Amino acid sequence: MGSRRKREKEENGAATSQKAPVPATGDGASAAAQARNLLRPYLRRRRFQAGSLLWREGETTGLLVALDSGRVKIYRLLPTGRAVTVFIFGPGDVFGFLPFLDGEPYPAYAQALEDVEAQVMSRDQLLSAVHADPHVAVALIGLVGRRLRDAMRRIESVSSPGVLPRVASALAALLPDSHGPGPAAIIRLPVSGAEFAGAIGITPETLSRSLTKLVSARVLHRLGPGRFQVLDPEALRRAVEDGDTPRTPLA
């Protein structure tokens, strides 16, 4: 019995240590964690290969997904054929349950950006979970509320006159949840630069200029295409509010 508890503790610790940065607020991450804990008895493990679709826009059957590793892009196709990214979900996020709640088809596509490991459940399983424990419904409603608040913040950001706050906000969301003193964090754009720019309502050229400003100010260090070392996380977060290019003293 003692060895079994020790093994479970080690497995739980390993899962926690592997958690990657996710573009979510602390409150949103807490709501997702609560939902995962309540749904754990009903979930089953599943893997998706990079590039595969979890579901298509208009489908009425799908999955509630709790991501363990990898990232999933939620996007819509415009009449012109151009894809517009709506959300990017990462480890710890729970999503895909909206059609289970309102009975409507999926309003967007879901595609694995990289190899994904997740825990999933069907609509029937979710309904069984809700009937067995009403707290499940409360947790999912909380997640919907957080998603709406995130959407309002994005609208406010896109409506702001400055471009730098949008870029800084999107980059800051990729930082680890609790990055403190120690080695500088490394962030990676989860999609191409052009798609990342489109998701925050700017052109690729404007994104490039904003990134160059942050690199020149020694807030970021460019490691390669789509990869940056964040030299000054606080300056990056201040840029979200101030809208001015942060100035970091030279070493």
Specify the pTM: 0.64
pLDDT of residue 180: 53
| Residues 126, 28 share a domain | yes
Residue 194: give its domain's CATH number.
Answer: 1.10.10.10
Count of C-beta atoms within a 10 Å radius of residue 250 = 5
Per DSSP, the residues of 66-127 read: EEEES-EEEEEE-TTS-EEEEEEE-TT-EE--HHHHH-PPPSSEEEESS-EEEEEE-HHHHH
For 162-191, how does the pLDDT look when each residue is reduced to its tens digit (9 = 90+)?
A: 788 888 888 888 887 654 555 678 998 888
Task: Quote the pLDDT of residue 243.
Answer: 53
**Model confidence over 220-240: pLDDT tens digits?**
999 999 999 999 988 888 887
Whether residue 173 lies inside any domain: the answer is: yes
CA 131/CA 67 separation, integer angstroms:
24
- AA letter at 201: G
- Provide the residue range defining the domain that includes 222: 164-242
**How many residues make up the chain in this entry?**
251
Lowest mean pLDDT across 135-144, 151-160, 220-229 = 151-160
Cβ atoms within 10 A of the Cβ of 128, count?
A: 14
| Among 245, 3, 56, 23, CA closest to 154 | 23
Q: Which of 7-11, 145-149, 190-194, 226-230 has the lowest mean pLDDT?
A: 7-11
Verify that 99 and 112 share a domain, yes or no: yes
Q: Are residue 220 and residue 107 in the same domain, yes or no?
A: no
- The domain boundary residue, chosen from 159, 191, 226: 159
Which pLDDT band, with edges at 50, 70 and 90, does 45 fall under?
A: very high
Which residue in the block uniquely carries the two structure tokens 């999926």?
106
Segment 45-52 mean pLDDT: 95
Specify the residue for token string 């804990």. Answer: 37
Helix 164-172 with 204-216: angle, nearest 10 deg: 80
Domain boundary residue, one of 132, 159, 186 = 159
